[in-house]
Copies of this chain bind each other. A is one copy, B any other.
Amino acid sequence: MSFAPLANDTFLRACLRQATPYTPLWLMRQAGRYLPEYKATRSRAGSFMGLATNVDYATEVTLQPLERFPLDAAILFSDILTVPDAMGLGLSFAEGEGPKLARPLRDEAAVARLAVPDLEQLRYVFDAVTSIRHALKGRVPLIGFSGSPWTLACYMVEGSGSKDDWRGVKSMLYSRPDLMHRILAVNAEAVIGYLNAQIEAGAQAVMVFDSWGGALADGAFQEFSLAYTERVLAGLKRSHEGQVIPRLVFTKGGGLWLEQMGALDCEVLGVDWTVNLGRARALVGGAKALQGNLDPAALFAPPAQVAQQARRVLEAFGTPHTGPGAGPTHIFNLGHGISQFTPPEHVAALVEAVHTHSRAMRPQVSGKA
């Protein structure tokens, strides 16, 4: 496929630990309910699924935040549960509630029947990726994504978001680890196919969201989440049409396992706001770029405080790599998805503060002859 050349490659360069003139930033869930224009499109689409499965709507909302803010990357607008839906579990969204799966994996027979879905069922996602790439006209790179095998399994067993601290999925994990492993093996294979197809459709980086890895006990995390993220990474395309495709992994609540995650075969590790970026850099910064980690709640404060908190995050990471070759780099983001209650003008203050302050933190090239 042929797309316009990339005008702003700071995000991709930072992923590959190459020097950039400032710290690139994007925001998890940057296309979303805090934007009135998103709500307008959502209302025209009739439902969340109507929005997510329609190529034109998905393209439109993916680009909305870029019209407002000079963000350094776009991320595919889609839902994390498209894969379980394609597996036949029946995804729906009731108004004002989270996602629901009509046919969760409640017994051994259901687990035995589970199979890697036909990727044709997910064609609408790949078509959206290609459509967004065209619409972006090379302004910034496009990130594709998937839930991690474990995070998908949480919803697939529970049938919805966390009830009682993931009682259903954890009961299965502790009672029947064999069933859990079967689900995770199917999920890993499905995620590999799903992300590779996004790459082929035009995604310039891919991110694995392990949103619920942090709910696991030490030991269980390594066995039921990390091992399958590793399996996914091993199956991903390294490059496409001559371009390296950076792979990002984010485990919410995974800060305690950062040293072990440093050994993952990926380019970027995302961290949430509980992590000290300077400490994270000391642990893994040499081998990986780091992404994060402003508390999304900091965006509820007035612009001056938002700017101050942004500077704190940049300074916790410290001076980024500025020379030739690869070195420690930072991609600014929130530590989790942006809240629907965020005033958009606070986001503008954040973007401005990150770009300005991160430029100022880099050694200045002297003007004197």
Contacts and interface: CB of A to CB of B under 8 A. Distances in A.
Interface of A: 164-167, 170-171, 173-175, 214, 216-221, 253, 255-256, 273-276, 293-298, 300-302, 305, 309, 312, 316, 335, 339, 341
A275 B301 contact: no
B171 A301 contact: yes
Given A164-B339, A256-B255, A273-B218, A297 B171 contact: yes
Nearest to A168: B300
B339 A174 contact: no
21 contacts: A165-B297, A166-B297, A167-B300, A167-B339, A170-B297, A174-B295, A174-B297, A174-B298, A174-B300, A175-B300, A175-B305, A216-B274, A216-B295, A217-B273, A217-B298, A218-B273, A219-B312, A219-B316, A220-B295, A253-B274, A256-B275
A301 B174 contact: yes
A312 B255 CA distance: 22
Nearest first, the 4 closest Cβ-Cβ pairs linking A and B are: A170-B297, A174-B301, A217-B273, A171-B300
A256 B275 CA distance: 7
B302 A175 contact: yes
Contacts of A335: 217
A275 to B, nearest CB: 6
Nearest to A340: B164
Given A255-B256, A297-B174, A274 B167 contact: no
A173 B305 CA distance: 11
Nearest to A295: B217
A302 B256 CA distance: 29
A338 to B, nearest CB: 12
A218 B273 CA distance: 6
Contact of A275 (B164, B173, B218, B295): B218
